[in-house]
Amino acid sequence: MPTRRNVLAGAAAAAAAPALAACGESAGATRMTSATRRKPGQKVKLVFWTWVPLQKAAALWNKRNPDIRVEVQMVPANTSGGYQKMHSSIKAGNPPDLAQIEYWALPEFMLANGLTDISAYGADKLKGEYVDWQWKQGEFAGKTYAMPQASGPMGFFYRQDLFDKWDVEVPRTWDAFRRAAMKIKKRSGGDSYITAFSPGNVVWFSSFPWQRGARWIRTEDDTWVVDVAGRASLEVADFWDGLLRDKLVAPIQDSQSAFFKGLQTGQLSGWLGAQWQDALIRGNAPRTKGKWRVAGLPQWEAGRHVSSNWGGSATAVLQGSRHPVEALRFAHWLNTDPDSIDLLVAAGYGWPAAKLDLKKSALGKADPFFGGQVYNEVFETSDRNVDTSWQWAPTTTQSFGHIQDNFAQVFAGHGTIADALRDAQGRIVDDLDAKGLKARSAS
């Protein structure tokens, strides 16, 4: 039986090179997945760990499929805490059947032998119903280990009322973004910023080098190549360093009380965020209903439409499930059934991985909160223009931790964002080396 380090031949985006072939990581699962044959009339219970409130979708499934009942259990969102709980359950031999796992974390679970090969249960026959690049996030060495759930194409949420009040044009380029930031600061008397810089969210920050054409990680033959401090990344870092130096953006951590207060009060007149954050803005700044609009990301070159992605998750069958057939059936239904997708959209789960007609889904409706704008048309365009060659390493949690620590030093008055990336470069190579992987710096 091949080990996960050999199966992980393609890294995060199913690249061709066997970059993990030399990995010395030991398998983490103590119980292997095996299908239990159900007797006629026998009922099955599936446990699903997620941080998105998917209970309504699960309830609909349970109503339609009384013999296969799904119980949703909530875990911490977008933190290592939730993933640590998953890894611990796999090692202990008592994992849930299904788990929501972000695309960037899938290689880490593969390295620990934590995911079930669902190709063996017919997953590959379903490939045509999904967006190709999202499907590939769970594909390793030609086999499928997770069903794509949703992604996060980027856009610019902004307060139309405030932009009108201060006669600010929606910026189409990053140069125009800086000019708009200056005007907002001046005309608001210093009470408002064009957006926030989130010092503790490296995945959010990575979307900007991604848009610029950076490749923080790639594979060449059997080697991982780290390029966090490449030219494109440093250009982006210098841009944000300038905004911070001139106090044109607010150093506020996203998705916390101060951030949501800023959205509610107008301290933040915009936010560069992913599509799935529409629900967070709506839910945490209710008094701003009708005042928001959405535009595409500012461009480095006028007239272009280059975008990027923040977030995105898969529904994975964890290693050790006794009901992989039923788990796969539910995972596919959850992410492709039109009624389920509408419920998931309402729960704020992200941009669907299933191929869909926008106009026939809940995403294609004019939204009063966004002033009647069919704002998801912006994200539909954004999604089409994401460079899908971006890859993730099997050490992302550790590696992004280095950058986050360095960002904390920047906001304590030590160095710049560019310095933080340069310092992290060698540390990320060391992370990969520590896993027994061949790695080198791009420069």
CATH of the domain at 86: 3.40.190.10
412: burial class by Cβ within 10 Å (0-12, 13-18, 19+)? exposed
Domains in the chain: how many in total? Answer: 2
Confidence of residue 26 (pLDDT cuts 50, 70, 90): very low
Structural domain includes residue 244? yes
Strand partners, 74: 50
Q: How far is CA 173 from CA 33, 100, 178, 297, 437, in A?
A: 50, 35, 9, 8, 39
Structural domain includes residue 377? no
Lowest-pLDDT range of 28-42, 189-203, 222-236, 384-398:
28-42
Confidence of residue 196 (pLDDT cuts 50, 70, 90): very high
How many other β-carbons are positioned within 10 Å of the β-carbon of residue 376? 26
- For the segment 367-378, the average pLDDT, to the nearest whole number, is 97
Picking from 365, 381, 410, the residue at the C-terminal end of a domain is 365
Structural domain includes residue 331? yes
Q: Running DSSP on this structure, what letter comes out for residue 435?
A: T
- Is-contact 18 9, C-beta < 8 A? yes
Confidence of residue 18 (pLDDT cuts 50, 70, 90): very low
Task: Let me know whether 252 and 334 are in one domain.
Answer: no
Task: Let me know whether 326 and 297 are in one domain.
Answer: no
Task: Let me know whether 404 and 261 are in one domain.
Answer: yes
Nearest to 435 by CA among 391, 398, 390: 398
Q: Sign (positive/negative) of CA torsion 325, 327, 332, 337?
A: positive
Angle value at C-alpha 183, between 180 and 187, nearest 5 degrees = 145
Structural domain includes residue 383? no
Task: Let me know whether 143 and 261 are in one domain.
Answer: no
- The pLDDT assigned to 29 comes to 72
Confidence of residue 33 (pLDDT cuts 50, 70, 90): confident
Task: Let me know whether 234 and 126 are in one domain.
Answer: no
Confidence of residue 14 (pLDDT cuts 50, 70, 90): very low
Nearest to 35 by CA among 329, 330, 325, 332: 325
Task: Let me know whether 212 and 334 are in one domain.
Answer: no
Task: Let me know whether 163 and 202 are in one domain.
Answer: yes
Structural domain includes residue 413? yes
Strand partners, 223: 220
Structural domain includes residue 379? no
Beta strand 270-274 with 139-140 is: unpaired
Host domain of residue 50: 4-151+309-365
Task: Let me know whether 235 and 329 are in one domain.
Answer: no
Confidence of residue 141 (pLDDT cuts 50, 70, 90): confident
Task: Let me know whether 297 and 315 are in one domain.
Answer: no
Contacts 24+ apart (CB under 8 A), 262-267: 262/193, 262/196, 263/288, 264/288, 266/159, 266/162, 266/188, 266/191, 266/192, 267/191, 267/192, 267/193
Structural domain includes residue 236? yes
- The pLDDT assigned to 361 comes to 86
Task: Let me know whether 9 and 78 are in one domain.
Answer: yes
- For the segment 74-83, the average pLDDT, to the nearest whole number, is 78
Task: Let me know whether 292 and 146 are in one domain.
Answer: no
Structural domain includes residue 375? no
Task: Let me know whether 356 and 246 are in one domain.
Answer: no
- The pLDDT assigned to 30 comes to 73
pLDDT at 153 exceeding the cut of 60: yes
**pTM for this structure?**
0.89
